Structure 1
Amino acid sequence: MRYTLILLVFSALLSCKEEKAGETLYFAHSLPQSHPVHKGALKFKEVLAQKSGGKLTVKIFPDAQLGSEREVLELLQIGSLAITKVSAATLSNFVPEYEVLGVPYLFRNKEHQNAVLDGEIGKSILEKGSKFWLRGLCYYDAGSRSFYTKTKPVRKPEDLKGLKIRVMNNQMAINMVNALGGSATPMAYGELYTAIQQGVVDGAENNPPSFVSSNHYEVSKYYTIDEHSAVPDVVLIGTKFWDKLSEQERKWVEEAAIESAEAQKEYWQASVEESMAKAIEAGVEIIIPDKSLFADKSKSVLEEFQRTHPELAELVRQIKAK
């Protein structure tokens, strides 16, 4: 019902502005207005207005107003929405190459990740979505995911044994937690606070801003910074909208996206520092483990991925060799 209503609303909007197609870009995402992603979207709006002299404007819909990440991707595909930001994990259900970015310990560090994503490899992955009507514009920083637990600290992989860890409904994430010895439990994010509080699960894994903004730090007093994955966010434009733009308009959009990505990285880092300080102040124990133990234990996930996805194995090799 919600999805149908969204389509009706956008159909009406677009039909009313048919003679002005391309002037307003509707940008939807699922995060709150305090989040670094929303601040990045505001920067995109500002820069695009400046570069286009007001010819291209942006209307932002935060807080999942227009649906889940999957729903807004579908809106892009049919041309009812121009732009969105989604996790590469969600996007991998539409564009296979993005699944590579979820491989545990794929990136050596933040510098390596930036070199890959901002270079030719990253650009080639962004372009892969065009055949699925989802053209990538840039990557937003989503940090690194680490484990947090309620009653038992995790200092080495063996400590995960017997713990039910909430993960996204993503096969890579499920395989990773299971390989490390935990019991992967897919669950909707909105249900997680209560699930931890009531002991339905023993913990979860996410980045610091999400750990704090979700208030999960209130019910999870151990945060292990193992940084097992660094799945980026992706800003995309639907090709049905992109194809309506002139070459000059496309240039403005691309330049605005890149500038917003640079600004978003700064917003993200500031949010990480603020979130960690808040968690520590609330009594959360921050654990810095030997990450090599977790990396070694999770190697089977990469081996299984390369075996079942031989067409993507070369892409993994290129990234690791960068």
Structure 2
Amino acid sequence: MIYSKKLKGFAAITALTSAVFLAACGGDESGSGDEESTKTFKIAHVTQETHIWHQTAEKFGEELEKLSDGKMKVEIYPASQLGQEKDMVQQLETGSLDFGFLTNAYMSTREVSLNAWFMPFVFPTISDANEMRDAESTKKILDTLDSQGLVAFDFVFAGNRHVLLNDGFVQSPADLKGKKLRIVGSPAMQEFWEKAGAGPTAMPLSEVYTSLQTGVIDGIDIDLDALVTEKYYENAENLTLTNQMAFPAILTMSQSSFDALSTEEQEIVTEAIDIAADWGNEEAIKREETNLQTLKDAGVKVEELKDSSTFDEVSNSVIDKYSTESELIKEFLVEAQK
């Protein structure tokens, strides 16, 4: 359980009245207002309901309800229904939103150490990335979000990142020269693709389909789960399995919502998150294979990057820079290479 140490220091917290709790956590309540009433939490994220992150949120809701004997439930708001991620974070900070499954990419713009997951070609597979979830450096990186009013529990991967183009494949940086490539807005991702010679363009998921269709962009940096669930392959059919970076979401809770819980309730939430995160990552690993087959069946042309060393100059430049900027990234890389 990656977050169990967070519970230290909460033993002195006493149960609050239902009215105070609901004002803090943004949930609602049914029944007569006594201690047995149901508490309902809000969860938001950016992906479609078929995406692994949404299904992990559903799994969390199932476990939460089971562990609390039906006294705690969730309402899930997928596909940016409550706004873009910057809006979600503001809502988490105020406690009007209880949980956010936030992309590591967006949060890396707020905390440099989260760029650790985007150091190029560190994780050949999602299984390799998953093994780093319980590393000491990973726990320290999660702890940095305390200062932003967030309780960060764990990571859930969507898959590794690959490249989908409307024309050609990628075997070296030369194949990317002049290509307008949609990326998630992350400093390390931006720098990697710029140094590789592409023209990286950050944009939200909701704009990508049309941008591919109209030629505003030439391709995308994407995980297979999003590629399948968002159907981007309908507008571009050349997929290179590059595996250049892992791509997790951070399972976070509003600090004010968490603090409003009793110690027992905090333990239930933490256990439910732990179970859901383990389940979600196991599913993500399975989906790398099933999603790829789905894409092939849909007529997508697939190549693998045969030799990642063609990107060594670019990769080393990015790794050197971020290792210098963040001791946590340096520590993370040392542990990842063991």
Q: TM-score range by the shorter chain?
A: 0.7 to 0.9
Aligned to 1:3: none
Say whether residues 1:158 and 2:174 are aligned partners.
Answer: yes
Aligned to 1:50: 66
Aligned to 2:203: 187
Deviation, 1:22, is 8.9
Deviation, 1:16, is 7.1
Aligned pairs for 1:197-236 within 5 A: 197-236=213-252
For residue 320 of structure 2, the aligned residue among 299, 303, 309 is 303
Q: Name the CA shift for 1:112/1:284 in 2 (closer, same or farther; >3 Å).
A: closer
Which structure shows the bigger proportion of residues in helix conformation?
1
Aligned pairs for 1:119-198 within 5 A: 119-198=135-214
Q: Name the CA shift for 1:12/1:238 in 2 (closer, same or farther; >3 Å).
A: closer
Contact 2:164 2:221 in 1 (8 A): yes
User: Can you give the 5+ residue segments of structure 1 that lack an aligned partner in the other structure?
Assistant: 1-9
Task: Give the Cα separation in 1 of the matches to 2:119 and 2:141.
Answer: 15
For residue 24 of structure 1, the aligned residue among 27, 40, 50 is 40
SS at match of 1:127: helix
* Larger displacement relative to structure 2 (64-73 or 113-122): 113-122
Q: Name the CA shift for 1:88/1:120 in 2 (closer, same or farther; >3 Å).
A: same
Aligned to 2:15: none
SS at match of 1:232: strand
Deviation, 1:58, is 1.7
Q: Name the CA shift for 1:316/1:15 in 2 (closer, same or farther; >3 Å).
A: closer
Task: Give the Cα separation in 2 of the matches to 1:87 and 1:319.
Answer: 23
Deviation, 1:186, is 2.5
Task: Give the Cα separation in 2 of the matches to 1:150 and 1:32.
Answer: 23
Contact 1:137 1:235 in 2 (8 A): yes
Deviations 1:90-137 (A, max 9, x none): 112333321222222233543432222123222222222112111111
TM-score by length of 2: 0.84
* Larger displacement relative to structure 2 (155-164 or 240-249): 155-164
SS at match of 2:42: strand
SS at match of 1:30: coil
Task: Give the Cα separation in 2 of the matches to 1:109 and 1:16.
Answer: 41
SS at match of 2:200: strand
For residue 81 of structure 1, the aligned residue among 69, 72, 97 is 97
Contact 2:48 2:78 in 1 (8 A): yes
SS at match of 2:70: coil
Contact 2:38 2:73 in 1 (8 A): no
Aligned to 1:246: 262
Task: Give the Cα separation in 1 of the matches to 2:134 and 2:262.
Answer: 25
SS at match of 1:228: coil
How many matched pairs?
A: 312
Q: Name the CA shift for 1:252/1:301 in 2 (closer, same or farther; >3 Å).
A: same
User: Can you give the 5+ residue segments of structure 2 that lack an aligned partner in the other structure?
Assistant: 1-21
- Percent of pairs with identical residues: 27
Task: Give the Cα separation in 2 of the matches to 1:266 and 1:100.
Answer: 21
Deviations 1:47-97 (A, max 9, x none): 111112222222222222211122111111111111110111111233332
Contact 2:124 2:243 in 1 (8 A): no
CA RMSD of aligned residues (A): 2.6
Aligned to 1:99: 115
Task: Give the Cα separation in 1 of the matches to 2:336 and 2:288.
Answer: 26
Task: Give the Cα separation in 1 of the matches to 2:303 and 2:233.
Answer: 14
SS at match of 1:306: helix
Task: Give the Cα separation in 2 of the matches to 1:118 and 1:15.
Answer: 31
Task: Give the Cα separation in 2 of the matches to 1:113 and 1:271.
Answer: 15
Amino acid at match of 2:110: F
Task: Give the Cα separation in 2 of the matches to 1:192 and 1:27.
Answer: 24
Aligned to 1:7: none
Aligned to 1:4: none
SS at match of 1:303: helix
Task: Give the Cα separation in 2 of the matches to 1:174 and 1:127.
Answer: 25
Q: Name the CA shift for 1:291/1:31 in 2 (closer, same or farther; >3 Å).
A: same
Aligned to 1:256: 272
SS at match of 1:227: coil
Deviation, 1:174, is 1.4
Contact 2:56 2:276 in 1 (8 A): yes
Deviation, 1:199, is 2.3
